Amino acid sequence: MQQRLADKAGWGRQRGGPDGRAWRLRGRSYGWGVMMLALATAASAEFTEVTFDTADGGSVNANLYGDGTHAVLLAHGAIFNKESWHMLAERLDREGLTVLAIDFRGYGKSRPGTLRGGQQEDVLAGIRYLTGRGATRVSMLGASMGGGAVAEAAAVVADGEIDNLILLAAVRSGAAERMSGRKLFIVSEGDSMRPSVTEQFERARGPKFLALLPGDAHAQHIFRTEQAGRLTELIVDWLTPPEP
């Protein structure tokens, strides 16, 4: 899987090991304007606004796309919201995935529960919602603050409950060793979070993979740069590996 991703993108090997690999991406970038034009010409995916309860008495408002048995939960960063995932959600919908883009408590119509912070509870509620509506596989993608929340959630779910875990410049979690699922860590080479992300990658169990993107954009801000298309393809490839 790792070699297929590297060959497709034209990446250069940076560092490897028995439980995971790290790659520095090189070669031609995908322009943000080109990506926007391509997405604009595609049919816009429809979504349904849904709300569900958290275990601590809060509620999560989310946008639901698609109807596949493999579902992906998207968790935004601190200055973003569920709408910030719309273009990526459309792409994943076209790949046959169900997508649930959540608003964390305190954002939009989502309401806090009794736990202070509690973003992990919002993610766990999303997992329960997806499995309750028939998803047989659940993956998660979290960016920055959202990456920390999905990391904490992935550390408390049962083994096998999470299929893939993508951490996009995620804030540091104290639960890196306990996270379940196939793990993809992504960070820009010049991001100030890179040392923390690398440390989390080294602590995590395999299977795992670390991708370093050119530039210094942080987390979802990468979607506003020339690396937007490359980041999107990296995510899609990780979530939709070829059949063995």
Q: What is the mean pLDDT of residues 87-108?
A: 98
Give the Cα separation of 19 and 221 in Å (integer).
29
For 201, the domain range is: 29-239
Confidence of residue 5 (pLDDT cuts 50, 70, 90): low
What one-character DSSP code corresponds to residue 82? G
Residue 98 CA to residue 92 CA, distance in Å, equals 8
Give domain status of residue 187, yes or no: yes
pLDDT of res. 18: 36
Structural domain count of the chain: 1
CB 144 within 8 A of CB 77: yes
Which secondary-structure segment (H or E) carries 165? strand 164-168
- Identify whether 20 is part of a domain: no
Say yes or no to pLDDT of 54 above 90.
yes
Residues 6+ apart with CB under 8 A from 25: 9, 10, 11, 12, 211, 212, 213, 214, 227, 230
Grouping H, G, I as helix, E, B as strand and the rest as coil, residue 184 is strand
* Helix-strand-coil split of the chain, %, nearest 5: 35, 25, 40
CATH code for position 177: 3.40.50.1820
Does the residue 99 lie in any domain?
A: yes
In the numeric block, which tokens belong to residue 227?
A: 């690396």
pLDDT at residue 36, rounded to an integer: 42
> The tokens of 170 are what?
């995620």
Are 184 and 158 contacting, i.e. CB atoms less than 8 angstroms apart? no
Q: What's the pLDDT at 242?
A: 82
Residue 106 DSSP code: T
pLDDT tens track for 191-243: 999 999 999 999 999 999 999 999 999 999 999 999 999 999 999 999 998 87
Cα angle value 127/129/135 (rounded, 5°): 75
For the segment 128-138, the average pLDDT, to the nearest whole number, is 97
pLDDT of residue 33: 41
Mean pLDDT, residues 115-124 = 96
Average pLDDT on 101-117 reads 97
In a domain, 180, yes or no: yes
3-class state of residue 133 by DSSP: coil
pLDDT at residue 60 greater than cutoff 70: yes
Judged by phi (left if over 0) then psi (alpha if -120 to 50, else beta), residue 156 lies in alpha
At residue 130 the predicted structure's pLDDT band, cuts being 50, 70 and 90, is very high
Contacts of 73 (CB under 8 A, 6+ apart): 100, 102, 123, 126, 127, 130, 138, 139, 140, 141, 150
Position 60 in a domain: yes
pLDDT in tens, 64-93: 999 999 999 999 999 999 999 999 999 999
**3-class secondary-structure state, position 110:** coil
Return the structure tokens found at 22: 């790290």
Residue 55: inside a domain: yes
For residue 38, name the pLDDT band (cuts at 50, 70, 90): very low
Q: Are strands 11-16 and 20-25 parallel, antiparallel or unpaired?
A: antiparallel
With respect to residue 17, please indicate whether it lies within any of the assigned structural domains. no
Asked if residue 7 is part of any domain, the answer here is: no
Alpha-carbon gap, residue 243 to 20, rounded angstroms: 21
3-state secondary structure of 231: helix
